[in-house]
Amino acid sequence: MDIINIASYVGKDIRTRSFFRHDIEELIKNKESVTLDFSEVTFISRSVADELYNVLEDYPDIQVCNMEKDVKMMYSIVERGRKQPRHYETNNIEIVKLNTLDEMDKFFSSL
């Protein structure tokens, strides 16, 4: 089994989903069994956690280990969300059309 230290190859603060997927696929190609070691990774964005979930589904022989608390929590949030169907109580959501960044800034500042 190959162990890949994510912090060494991808970084300790991982924010971009597409780079993460590309980097992981490059690291695991031509390997049968891989463990992704998250030692020293201090942050993954929600989109990266979502992509990690996809990678683990697409490559069942990949395992993960040594996730720090915040990284594990973000991954757990995504994992729970994927396993529980989305349920919306109401569908009466108002659509707001914003044409400029200034309009967007004013809208979100008013919330």
pTM of the model: 0.73
pLDDT tens-digit map of 68-111:
999 999 999 999 988 887 776 767 778 889 899 888 888 888 87
Q: Give the CATH number for residue 60.
A: 3.30.750
pLDDT(29) > 90? no
Q: How confident is the model at residue 4 (pLDDT cuts 50, 70, 90)?
A: very high
Q: How many domains does the chain have?
A: 1
3-state secondary structure the chain: CEEEEHHHHCCCEECCHHHHHHHHHHHHCCCCCEEEECCCCCEECHHHHHHHHHHHHHCCCEEEECCCHHHHHHHHHHHHHHHCCCCCCCCCCCCCCCCCHHHHHHHHHCC
pLDDT tens-digit map of 30-67:
888 999 999 999 999 999 999 999 999 999 999 999 99
Range of the domain at 89: 2-109
